[in-house]
Amino acid sequence: MARAGERWTGRGLDGVELTVDIASQIEAWRDRYASTVGMAKYRRAAAWATDETAKKAVLGIRQQFHKTLKRNSPWTQSAVSYARADKAALNGIEAGTRSMDQVFAKVFVKPNQSTYLKYLFGMGDNVRLPGDVGLAQDKILIPWWQNITMTQGVRPTADGGVPRGFLARLNREAEGKRSKRSAASGRWGVYKGTIRLHGQPRLAYIARPPRVPVAIPDTIDQAWEGRERVITTAAGHLKQVGRRMRDIDHPRILFLAVDRATYRPTLQEPWDLACRAAAAGIGMTMARQLADNIEHARKRQQGRAMAA
């Protein structure tokens, strides 16, 4: 939360503008504080209002994330944090050497989360290229979680990512280096292949469905049998044939490889809305602090009068 145009360019998300100007709102209370409770109280109230606004903005942003993100996790919920106003700047307010334009609290996205969330901020679409984020350097691998969970029994991590070692296991299976577990009967296999999606060829990790015997009524005893069976040919001869097999499902995409991914800045507007909503309460915060200070001073004066 800062003066208009301030940018948080620390180790977190770079370039997200905190466009809400709260300095002028706090500055408007200077004379009222100075004439009633003094500049020391104004300095404390300014610090409290600045920090509380940043805190409310963080809580509001987290609520907006919950509404906006399809897969909101504790990891993304904790992505947004704030840094309190600088004490030296606040002391300068009390001493009259600084103005509120030089005092601000920082609302920012933490470094680890900003690596991924940065694509959801900005004034226009953002392009992610291979090697920008994640393990894949040549292609961007887009997970299809419904298929992954159904065929592999694997779910995304708490932060919405791919579990450690899962891609390596799929790669080994696709290269034919299967473990005993993956080679077990009834399990989905994995291979790399090219599919056509919207008319375009795409590389992908694909799950191959298990195969099971086909149950066909035997022409001799009408028993259902999917293994070795004897059938009657068109010429009336008996013939023994091997079992027939079928896939229990169709192949399913696990990861789709793409050359680039485009993201809409879906979090920018919720971020701005939360910051503006938090700043709207500045006047009430300053008024409440002033009323509390005046009441406290009145009680102290009454106490002294009674003591005298």
Tens place of pLDDT for every residue, the chain, 308 residues?
434 333 333 334 444 444 467 888 888 998 999 899 998 888 888 888 889 999 999 999 999 888 888 777 788 888 888 888 888 877 887 777 777 777 778 888 888 888 888 888 888 888 888 777 665 667 888 889 999 999 999 998 876 788 888 888 888 888 887 655 555 567 898 998 888 888 888 889 999 998 877 765 544 454 444 455 666 777 777 776 666 777 788 899 999 988 888 888 888 888 989 998 998 999 999 999 999 989 988 888 887 777 66
pLDDT at 7: 38
CA 199 to chain centre: 31
pLDDT at 36: 92
Give the burial string for 131-142 (b: 16+ CB within 10 Å, else e).
Answer: eeeeeeeebbbe
pLDDT at 230: 67
Helix (H, G, I), strand (E, B) or coil at 18: strand
Please give the helix or strand (H or E) that residue 292 lies within, else none.
Answer: helix 282-307
pLDDT at 149: 92
pLDDT at 291: 93
For residue 234, count CB atoms less than 10 angstroms from its CB and return exposed for 0-12, middle for 13-18, buried for 19 or more.
Answer: exposed
Please give the helix or strand (H or E) that residue 216 lies within, else none.
Answer: strand 216-217
What does DSSP assign to residue 147?
H
CA distances from 192 to 153, 253, 254, 261 (A): 19, 10, 10, 20
Does this model's pTM top 0.85? My answer is no
pLDDT at 178: 64
CA pair distance 83, 86, nearest whole angstrom: 9
pLDDT at 19: 47
